[in-house]
Amino acid sequence: MPDKLHDLIQKKLEKAGLHSDQAEEVANHLVYADSRGIHSHGAVRVEYYAERIAKGGVTLDPQVKFEKTGPSSAIFHGDNGIGQYICNLAIDEAIPFAKESGVAIVGVSKMSHSGVLSYYVKKAAENDLICIAMCQSDPMVVPFGGAETYYGTNPIAYGVPRKTGEPILFDMATTVQAWGKVLDARSKNKDIPDTWAVNDEGVPTTNPHDVAGLLPIAGPKGYGLMMMVDILSGMLLGLPFGKHVSSMYANMTEGRNLGQLYILIDPKRFTNLDSFKDDIEETIDELHQIRPAKGFDQVYVPGERGQLREKGFLKEGIPIEKSIYDYLASDIVHTDRYNGLNAFAEKPDLNG
């Protein structure tokens, strides 16, 4: 059940050296991901986090600061603290700032891996704000027309408040599929579609263990989006960009210096909030009434299927791979699986 999974994750992270309040927030986030069926960003990540924490690659007592740089702009300095904790603090500062200024752009500077973006935009939407979020990541994507990796999966998300029910939530990588999905396939020893990635010869592959580069979504369109994300969450904050973004695994004794960006909009500054929410509900109703295509039961709005999964998992329990559960339930902090690997969690080819 979710409470048991949360407890196992929190205790493992605390054993690795993370303070209880930070471990609790990371566990909140990972259970949220698993409960919505986003297993690529759930408990599967715990051993990696534990190894990085134990080896000094996360600042255990980060000196954080929310710095207003203008009437509607700010930077949250994260001091390379654990990503979920840092970004949760940042969005909690950004929400009242956006309420005050009407529109706010808040960068998060220097953090570790921060998980699924929908977690943060959901908090903003629950406070009657529209929120767009984006985050850079380490190079593992072949740009359109190229044969070598340069950008990361560089996700984008948005959340929109509703009158009834949970917010509309959209969260996507700018690749055909997120790297975490490949990791999930590896943990389950399952093939991946040949549209997700290429091997070291640039040829599409179905073997998750042979992945040497992910593919941008819709070719040049995804390539353009991932460049925008890198500019706004990296260069704009004076952080490493493109191929210079730190690898998740290369050196787990150092902070990753990653960047994230939130754009928050208060609908009340543009229209009547109630009528805005009425329009959102009408849109959702109309989408639900559209005749579904063959093979589909209905048209869903972004985030809706995840919400349905969560309701089911809360009743029946969250499915976790046995190997992951066994690790969480063990006395092992980590097994030195990741340090020194390349972006694809493999030993680097020193001859290539």
Report pLDDT digits (tens) over 60-72.
Answer: 999 999 999 999 9
Nearest Cα to Cα of residue 23 among 14, 32, 15:
14
The fold adopted by the segment(s) 2-269 is Ribosomal Protein S8; Chain: A, domain 1 (3.30.1370)
Tell me the angle at which helices 20-35 and 118-125 cross, rounded to the nearest 10 degrees. Answer: 90
Catalytic residues: 113
Summarised one tens digit per residue, pLDDT across range 283-296 is: 999 999 999 999 99
Structure-block tokens of residue 250: 């290369």
β partners of residue 308: none
* 160: three-class secondary structure by DSSP: strand
Q: What is the pLDDT of residue 200?
A: 84
pTM reported for the whole predicted model: 0.93
Mean pLDDT of 167-180: 90
Taking CA 104 as the corner, what is the angle to CA 82 and CA 108, rounded to the nearest 5 degrees? 20
How are beta strands 103-111 and 259-265 bridged, if at all? antiparallel
Handedness of CA 191, 195, 200, 201 (dihedral sign): positive
Q: Is the dihedral of CA 250, 227, 132, 290 positive or negative?
A: negative
Kindly tell me the burial class for residue 199, based on how many C-beta atoms sit within 10 Å of its own C-beta (0-12, 13-18, 19 or more): middle
Where along the chain do its domains lie? 2-269
